[in-house]
Amino acid sequence: MRRSPWRLAAIGGLVTAMVAGFAAVTTTSASAAEVLLSQGKPATASSTEAAGAYNPAEAFDGNTGTRWASAFSDPQWIQVDLGTSQAITRVELNWETAAARAFQIQVSNNASTWTTIYSTTTGTGGNQSLTVSGTGRYVRMYGTQRTTGYGYSLWEFKVFGEDGGTSVPGGGSLGANVIVFDPSMSSASIQARADEIFRQQETAQFGTGRYVLAFRPGTYNNLNIQVGFYTSVVGLGQNPQDVRINGDITVDAGWFAGNATQNFWRSTENLSVYPVNGTNRWAVSQAAPFRRMDIHGNLNLAPNGYGWASGGYVADSRISGTLGQYSQQQWLTRNSSIASNTNAVWNQAFVGVQGAPSGAGYPNPPYTTIANTPVIREKPYLYHTGSDYAVFVPNLRTNSVGASWVNGNTPGTSIPLSQFYVAKPGDSAATINAALASGLNLIFQPGIYRVNQTINVNRANTVVLGLGYATVIPENGVTAMQVADVDGVKVAGILFDAGTTLSPNLLVMGQSGSTANHAANPSSVQDVFLRVGGYIAGKATNSLLVNSNNVIIDHIWAWRADHGNAGTYNWDTALGDHGLIVNGNDVTAYGLFVEHYQKYQVIWNGNGGRTYFFQNEMPYDPPTQAAWRTGAEGYAAYKVADSVNTHEAWAMGSYCYFNVNPSIHADRGFEVPVKSGVRLHNLLTVSLGGNGVIDNVVNTTGGPAQGTATVPSYVVNFP
C-alpha cells in the first residue's frame, strides 16, 4: 500500500550450532502401513432423513457426534470420492442404532459401474472393521435391508488403504532460516546476527528472504532487535514471561524517510520486553501482528518523528503502560490489557480489552469499544517443551476479556513436532498432500513454495502453521489451498501470493454448499495474508473464500498491489476481483484489512456474520469510470448481499485515492440491504487529498468524502 502525502498526522559457527540444535529433533513415523483415505473428502448419498440435516459429509468429518441418516426405505447408499484411484484395504463403519442388516461395500472408478468387495446379509450394526481388497476412486456402502424401521445411519464411514510401504516422516529440522538463540550466548553475538538479518531485510519489500529469530526460555540483556520485512521474532516459552528481553523489539521507518506506511509483513510473538527507555516502538502498517506480548512499559505505534502510519493489530497482549496510537490512522487491539490509550486519528477499535477507552463519544474521538470478544481461539504457536519442540493450540474462548495467559498457562493442547510434517522450500504439493493424508499436521519452514496442485487439508483439527512468512505461490491457475468442511482446522501464519496464471481462489475454507454446524469447534484463519501482484504479476479472481459455517477470521490482509516490482501492479496485469467472499453462516471476523481489488472488496453472502474492524482502500488505478464499472459508479468496499437477513459490523473504514484518474467516483463505501437484522456501527469514508470522491458512506446515507482537506465522513449507526 503506497501512501499519499495527505496521510495524517564468529557468527557462522553460531548459526551452524543453532541449526544443528533443530536437526537433533527425533524423526518418527506418523503412519504405519495403512492410511486413512476418506476423511473430509466429498461425499454424496441417495437421500437424507431431513432437508439440511444428517448430510453425507458428516459421516466423513472425523466427528463421532455428527452422522448421516437416510430416508426410511430400501435400497439406500452413501459414497465418498477419494480424488484418485486407491488400493482399498479396510473399511470401518460406526453405525447409529439405525443400521444395515444387508449391505455391500463397493468400489468404482466412474461412480456408475460398481464392483462389490464385501457383502453380508447378517449385519448387526455397532462398530465394524472390515478387511477388504479392491481398487477405486469411489467407495460406497450400498444397503438393501435395515435393522430398524428407520433409515440407514452412520456416525463415521472410514476408508483405509496401503501407503505403498513408504511412511511419511514427522518432525525434523525447522530449517536454517529459523535462527535459535539461547541465554548462554553472548548479547554481542545475538545482536550481531540480528543486525545482519535486519540489514538484509530492512528494504527487501519484495525480496525472497524469510526468517524467524527464536529465543529459547531465559533472560537476554542489552538487545535491540530491529525487525525487517518477512521476519518474525518469537519466544519459545509456553508463555510470554518465559522469555525476558531487557531491551527492545523495534520497528521504525528510517529506510523510508520516516514514513511507516510500507512497514508490512513482519511480526513478534510470545515475548516479555522491558524497554530500555520505558517505551517500545512498533511502527507498522498491514500484515504485522503483535501477539502474546508482555510489554513492561509503553508501546509506541508511530515512527520516530511521528510520520505517517497506517494501521495494525495487537492481540493476546499486556501493556503495563500507555498504548500510543499517535499517527496511526487505524488500529485494532483485541483481548489485551493496557494501562491507558493516547491519541486517535480515524478508526481505533478495542475488542475485549481491559483498560480500553470509552467509545461513547464516537466519532470524537473515533474509538470503537466492544467489551467482550464473542468467540475466539488464539493462534497456535511454536514453543520448546524443555526437551523437544511442539505446537501449542489454545482452547476456544467465548465472551472473553484480556489475554489468555495472564492467570497461568494458556488453556489448550500441546502437539509434538513429531506429529507435523515440516515442509521445506522445494517440496512439491504432492509430497505435502501425502503427508496430510497420512494424518500429519503441517509446518512450513521459512521460504517460498511453488505448488502446481492444490494443497488439500481434509482432516478435522489439522494445524497448518507457516513460519517466517512462508509464502505459497500457486502455478498453472490452481487454488493454492483447499480446506474441507470439517471441524477445527487452524490455518495460520502463511502468505499466499497469486501466481501469474489466473487462479479462482488462493485459500478456500470448506467446499461449495457446506452446511455442517461447527459452532463447538470452528476452523480459523489467523495472520493469513493474501497478495495479488507486487512481487510478480499475480492473478486470482478471489483471494479468500469461506464456505464453511462458524469460521473465525482473525487478522488478514488481502491486498491487490498498488506498488511493487515493475509491471506487477497495473490494472491489466494484477488481476483480482475480490479479496474475501463469505458464503458460510455465523462467520466472525476480527481485523479485516482488504484493499485495492477491482470489484467488491468483500462480499458477505452468509447470515449471522460479524465483523469487528475493517480497513480498506479502493483500487488506486481505475483508468476510467467505465473501465471500473458500467451502470454504476464503481463498487462499494463492503457488500452484504440482498438475501442476507442478519449481519452486524463495527469500526468500518474505506478510503479512496484514485491517483491514476482523480475524477473517479464511487457511489458508496458500504452497501447493505435495509433490514432490521443488518446493522452497521461507526463507519467512515475518506478521500485522500481529494483524489476522487466516495459519494455516500453507506447506501445513500452519509455525506461525500471529497476535497484536499482529507476529512472523514462519518455515520455512527445504520440504519
Do strands 153-162 and 34-36 pair parallel, antiparallel, or not at all (unpaired)? antiparallel
Residue of 497, 484, 418, 396 whose CA lies nearest to 451: 497
- C-alpha distances in angstroms, 37 versus 90, 300, 530, 562, 614? 10, 50, 30, 43, 39
Indicate the angle between helix axes 11-23 and 187-201, nearest 10 degrees. Answer: 90
Q: Which residue has the cell 518477512?
A: 230
What's the sign of the alpha-carbon dihedral 302, 368, 583, 459?
A: positive
Cα distance between residue 100 and residue 441, in whole Å: 34
- Determine contact, residues 46/78, Cβ cutoff 8 Å: yes
* Ordered alpha helix ranges (H), 519-667: 625-628
Radius of gyration of the chain measured on its C-alpha atoms: 26
Secondary structure letter of residue 26 according to DSSP: P
Residue of 273, 472, 464, 450 whose CA lies nearest to 380: 464
Cα distance between residue 516 and residue 651, in whole Å: 30
Residue of 705, 669, 683, 651 whose CA lies nearest to 311: 651
- Determine contact, residues 668/701, Cβ cutoff 8 Å: no
Q: Please provide residue 236's backbone torsions phi and psi, each rounded to the nearest 5 degrees.
A: -105, 20
Task: Give burial (CB, 10 Å; 0-12/13-18/19+) of 245.
Answer: buried
- Determine contact, residues 235/270, Cβ cutoff 8 Å: yes
Amino acid sitting at position 20: A
> In the numeric block, which cell numbers belong to residue 274?
522491558
Cα distance between residue 278 and residue 162, in whole Å: 60
444 strand-pairing partners: 423, 466
116 strand-pairing partners: 106
Print burial letters for 579-607: b (CB count within 10 Å at least 16), e (below 16).
Answer: bbbbbbbbbbbbbbbbbbbbbbbbbbbbb
421 strand-pairing partners: 171, 442
414 strand-pairing partners: 392
> In the numeric block, which cell numbers belong to residue 374?
464473542
647 strand-pairing partners: 609, 678
> In the numeric block, which cell numbers belong to residue 255?
529506510
Under DSSP, is residue 707 helix (H, G, I), strand (E, B) or coil?
Answer: coil
Residue of 600, 553, 592 whose CA lies nearest to 576: 600
Indicate the helix (H) or strand (E) that contains 45.
Answer: strand 43-45
Residue of 492, 556, 469 whose CA lies nearest to 178: 469
Which are the catalytic amino acids?
617
Residue of 708, 602, 683 whose CA lies nearest to 346: 683
Cα distance between residue 234 and residue 490, in whole Å: 19
What's the sign of the alpha-carbon dihedral 515, 517, 521, 524?
A: positive
